[in-house]
Structure 1
Amino acid sequence: MTKRLQGRHALVTGSTSNIGRAIAEAFAAEGAFVVVSGRDQDRGEATVAAIREQGGRAVFAPADLDGTPEASRALAATAAALAGGRIDVLVNNAGIFPPTTTATTDAATFDRVYAVNVKAPYFLTQAVVPGMLAAGGGAVVNLGSWVARLGIASSALYASTKGAVETLTRAWAAEFGPQGVRVNAVSPGVIRPPSLDPGAPQAGAALMQGTPAGAAGHPSAIAAAAVYLASDEAVFVHGTVLDVDGGRTGVAVTAA
């Protein structure tokens, strides 16, 4: 059976834990050579080791994506060199979610969240996509969030950055799609850490009450969606934000 990402070279940011790690592992299982990236060297090497133990191919590229063009360009260059000169799939996953409200957000926090969540993927896409265009095609998968479209009281700053990412997804699809680079996004719902016992109390679980799923999801669900969007199965998919949120944004379950 042909693996869906066989022969592809992928860069996954923020892939040393949780959703990012699940995406990196799923890509490798589907045949991709994966450049795992993040700030933590130990977690990065552990992710690479886990992929290799399963027969996959991966390397680690440390990076602190602080929103500067220089940091994004440096990672793009390093990743391409480690991957034999090209990146076919870029997953913009890295992001931060500080516990802050509008009333308690200072300017430094505001700038930091926008730098990591919006500027970093913007400049990384700017650095990586030209290589894809030169090679004749590629795919970009962004990570949005359900809170970009369903307002909750405690995440205005974070939600606004994910709204920006989802808007960039559509704009980039229009800009790059005609030249062979597909751009789409996955919008996760409440996701539990993969190591957490399914029966244990889950942070944010109350936010999934009244949904078809009724509970937080596993990172593997997001990874499966990212594999699909990166693969040729999604060849006719451009500018889509794929909700993988247990029905949180689209469905209200009420008692009969």
Structure 2
Amino acid sequence: MRLKGKTAVITGGANGIGAVAAELFGKQGAQVAIVDFNEQAGEAKAQQLRAEGLDVAFFKADVSDAENVKEMATQVIAKFGKVDILINNAGITKDAMTLKMDVANFKQVLDVNLTGVFNCTQAFLPTLLAQGKGKVINTSSITGTGGNVGQVNYAASKAGVIGMTKTWAKEFGGKGINVNAVAPGFIETDMISTIPEKILGQLKQLTPYPRFGTPQDIANAYLFLASDESDFVNGTVLEVDGGMLT
């Protein structure tokens, strides 16, 4: 088991990529804290995984609320005694062309996708630093590296995540904390379910690999960066996009 004896926190862990990662990490021996704003879905996922014999607990939190995140972090540490891995996976979209984008929707995406990553990392950093070892994995996107029409808020948030990742790698790498990012391409989740089939077909043609990604593909990338196998990987952005940006 690649994560035996580790404790992992996964935000946005109730559904999609986060839920798949929670199961994978649990099967690899980790204690897993599923963090999500959706209490019903989060509790259901935690109960399902516990029924499979995995050591999983759910913690409700709004990652955009710094005080709420601090309370959640206190609860996680009280439950598990430590944290070794933080996966900043929570994210939302509120797409629109720039001239039609509501300012509130622009701000909400940045509050969750960018400020939320800062809030969670800041809350767990004291514990990671005290241990002298830890892994922080932030979820960016190929939209954050290449942009995308109709997603100026999402692109800005994900580009910001890359900037924070590289800064933290320099700030905390010397203290035993690895900070990296994963940049998914188009992944088969609810997040792309609103994209018209015609556009999806065009996007699939832009991907050299003959399919879209799956949540398992991203969870596998998280697993590598969370494991001891990646101890000398720091400040990188791992693109998991089937070669779209090649």
User: Structure 2-normalised TM-score?
Assistant: 0.93
Query: 1:140 is matched by which residue type in structure 2?
Result: V
Aligned to 2:17: 19
Distance (Å, rounded) in 2 between the aligned partners of 1:113 and 1:193: 18
Q: What's the CA shift for 1:94? A: 0.6
3-state SS of paired residue (1:209): helix
- Are 1:188 and 2:172 counterparts? no
3-state SS of paired residue (2:122): helix
Aligned to 1:137: 133
Identity of aligned residues (%): 39
Distance (Å, rounded) in 2 between the aligned partners of 1:244 and 1:53: 31
Aligned to 1:178: 174
Q: Which runs of 4+ in 1 moved over 4 A?
A: none
Aligned to 2:77: 80
- Are 1:63 and 2:61 counterparts? yes
Number of residues paired by the alignment? Answer: 241
Distance (Å, rounded) in 2 between the aligned partners of 1:202 and 1:8: 44
3-state SS of paired residue (2:182): strand
Cα root mean square deviation, aligned: 1.8
Distance (Å, rounded) in 2 between the aligned partners of 1:210 and 1:117: 26
Q: Is the 8 A contact 2:11 2:89 kept in 1?
A: yes
Distance (Å, rounded) in 2 between the aligned partners of 1:44 and 1:68: 18
Structure 1 portions without partners, runs of 5+? 195-200, 251-256
Aligned to 1:43: 41
Structure 2 portions without partners, runs of 5+? 191-196
Over 3 Å counting, the alpha-carbon distance change for 1:49 and 1:202 in structure 2 is farther
Aligned to 2:6: 8
Query: Which structure: greater helix fraction?
Result: 2
3-state SS of paired residue (2:100): coil
Query: 1:70 is matched by which residue type in structure 2?
Result: E
- Are 1:164 and 2:160 counterparts? yes
Q: What's the CA shift for 1:203? A: 7.6
Q: What's the CA shift for 1:152? A: 2.2
Distance (Å, rounded) in 2 between the aligned partners of 1:245 and 1:105: 27
User: Structure 1-normalised TM-score?
Assistant: 0.89
Distance (Å, rounded) in 1 between the aligned partners of 2:146 and 2:207: 13
Q: What's the CA shift for 1:164? A: 0.2
Distance (Å, rounded) in 2 between the aligned partners of 1:105 and 1:95: 18
Q: String of CA shifts for 1:79-109, please: whole Å, max 9, x gaps.
A: 21222x2111000011111122211122211
Q: Is the 8 A contact 1:190 1:204 kept in 2?
A: no
Aligned to 1:54: 52
Q: What's the CA shift for 1:204? A: 3.2
3-state SS of paired residue (2:208): coil
Aligned to 2:193: none
Over 3 Å counting, the alpha-carbon distance change for 1:76 and 1:175 in structure 2 is same
3-state SS of paired residue (1:141): strand
